[in-house]
Amino acid sequence: MTTSTEGRPMPIRVAAMADLHVGRTIPIAVRHAFDKARQEANVLVLCGDLTDRRLEEEAELLGQELAPLALPVAAVLGNHDHESGHVEEVTRVLTRHGVHVLDGDAVELAGIGFAGVKGFGGGFGRGALGAWGEPAIKAFVQEALDEALKLERALAQLRTKHRVALLHYSPIRATVEGEPPDIFPFLGSSRLEEPINRYPVDAVLHGHAHRGAFEGRTTADVPVYNISAPLLIARGTDALPLHMLEFGGA
């Protein structure tokens, strides 16, 4: 743990980003956010849609941009990273550049425990889709259940004092409010909330809902932050697509 000149423990700062959509180039706002993370953070986490079309060269470009930051990086993938059906290539490239790509896994970085999974849709609360009817509906619901189980397994691995859950899809309705209600079922699933409420975490981070709300809480009062880049940029003049979390001694 880092200490101050007076010997007091220094806080651990986690820089969080989502929906980078790296294509042929790195968006300038993303570059500025990376620079701020390099100067001020101990860890960088990325919550999905890292690439735009799931192209291997997009992942390579992102990896090359991350390397000079000299920060430990944890990430989950998003729906854009899965678009072309070759997610293994994206994972392989990012892993080669030192990124811990989490898919039902956990990792400890700078004394903070991170559990990560992409998540899936399905809706929230009474509006959640049930596994009844056609096989396609049952398969859709099963995907959400599988992602929730993976998240539960990842959370169960954490032994650190401070713990953070990384998702792409939202586990609660509150942080997708602002999007058209018709697409809420495709922005997240309350099935992801269940393991979060069972395993204590300090915070949940997700992206995906570009026009959603920044903050909400689970029914167990766990803070949830929507850190989608378009949402963070829209919050104010000169705002960067980055959110900083600070933790005491781990």
Please, are residues 114 and 104 in contact by the beta-carbon 8 Å criterion? no
Nearest-CA neighbor of 29 among 245, 208, 228? 228
The answer to whether the beta carbons of residues 169 and 190 sit under 8 Å apart is no
CATH number of 12-247: 3.60.21.10
Q: How many residues does the chain have?
A: 250
Three-class SS state of 44: strand
pLDDT given at position 45: 98
> How far is residue 160 from each of residues 73, 81, 181, 193, 216, measured CA to CA in Å?
17, 29, 37, 20, 24
Spatial separation of the C-alpha atoms in residues 107 and 85, rounded to whole Å: 26
Sequence ranges of the domains in the chain: 12-247
Which amino acid, residue 53? R
Residue 75, CA distances (Å) to 19, 106, 184, 220, 237 in order:
11, 11, 24, 25, 27
Chain segment 196-215, per-residue pLDDT in tens: 999 989 999 999 999 999 99
Please state, in angstroms and rounded to a whole number, the distance separating the CA atoms of residues 157 and 28. 37
- pLDDT 10s digits, 102-161: 999 999 999 999 999 999 999 998 888 887 778 888 998 899 999 999 999 999 999 999
Q: Determine the angle formed by the axes of helices 56-66 and 28-40, rounding to 10 degrees.
A: 40
